[in-house]
């Protein structure tokens, strides 16, 4: 019963989403706590993909060009996801979060860093598609610098 009820709500939500797509942008969450949860989960899945590539770049696991390219594709897609979770009113700085208030005092810088990560992730995706290990290593390191740079400024 409960599942059926949830499914019903899911279908209604899906219909509403489809209907509203052309009208206004629709967040995948509707309050500050959910916004924090959303961005943390997105960052976490993004990191899962990045970590596998990191293990290969460091030589902790054997380099596999096919798997690397798959992870690079998912990573590039995922780098676009977390940021909307910072812009929800009330999610600033939010509950149960490591996000520092400095983010919202320096919003343009934060957004630039998020965009740079996406640019670097696309470059990594391109390098991975060519399979050239030295290009891949360079592109990976460029992407990795974004993580640390932003965390140093904006993460507790």
Among 97, 128, 136, 140, binds ligand HEC (CB under 6 A): 97
C-alpha to C-alpha distance for 151 and 156, rounded to whole angstroms:
8
129 or 147: CB nearest ligand HEC: 147
Per-residue CA distances from 65 to 97, 122, 129, 151 (Å): 36, 16, 8, 29
Q: Which of 28, 112, 106, 114 is nearest to 78 (CA)?
A: 114
58 binds ligand HEC (CB under 6 A): no
Q: CB neighbours (10 Å) of residue 23?
A: 7
13 binds ligand HEC (CB under 6 A): no
C-alpha to C-alpha distance for 13 and 34, rounded to whole angstroms:
16
Q: Considering only 6-14, 22-30, 56-64, 92-100, which stretch makes contact with ligand HEC by CB under 6 A?
A: 92-100
110 binds ligand HEC (CB under 6 A): yes
Gyration radius of the chain's alpha carbons: 18
Looking up tokens 């970590």, which residue turns up? 51
62 or 156: CB nearest ligand HEC: 156
35 binds ligand HEC (CB under 6 A): no
53 binds ligand HEC (CB under 6 A): no
Q: CB neighbours (10 Å) of residue 24?
A: 7
C-alpha to C-alpha distance for 45 and 30, rounded to whole angstroms:
21
Q: Considering only 1-9, 15-23, 64-72, 108-116, which stretch makes contact with ligand HEC by CB under 6 A?
A: 108-116
How many residues touch ligand HEC under the rule CB under 6 A: the total is 22
125 or 146: CB nearest ligand HEC: 146
Q: What residue ranges bind ligand HEC (CB under 6 A)?
A: 36, 39-40, 43-44, 46-47, 50, 97-99, 110, 113-114, 117, 143, 146-147, 150-151, 154-155
């Amino acid at each position: 019963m409960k599942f059926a009820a949830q499914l019903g709500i899911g279908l209604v939500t899906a219909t509403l989403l489809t209907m509203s797509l052309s009208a206004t942008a629709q967040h995948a969450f509707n309050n500050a706590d959910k916004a924090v949860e959303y961005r943390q989960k997105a960052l976490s899945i993004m990191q899962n993909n990045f970590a596998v590539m990191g293990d290969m770049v460091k030589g902790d696991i054997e380099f596999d060009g096919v798997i690397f390219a798959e992870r690079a594709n998912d990573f590039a897609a995922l780098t676009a996801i977390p940021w909307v979770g910072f812009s929800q009113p009330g999610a600033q700085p939010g509950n149960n979060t490591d996000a520092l208030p400095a983010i919202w005092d320096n919003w343009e810088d934060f957004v630039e860093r998020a965009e740079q990560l996406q640019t670097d992730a696309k470059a990594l995706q391109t390098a991975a598609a060519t399979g050239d290990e030295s290009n891949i290593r360079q592109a990976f390191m460029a992407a990795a610098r974004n993580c640390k740079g932003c965390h140093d400024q904006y993460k507790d």
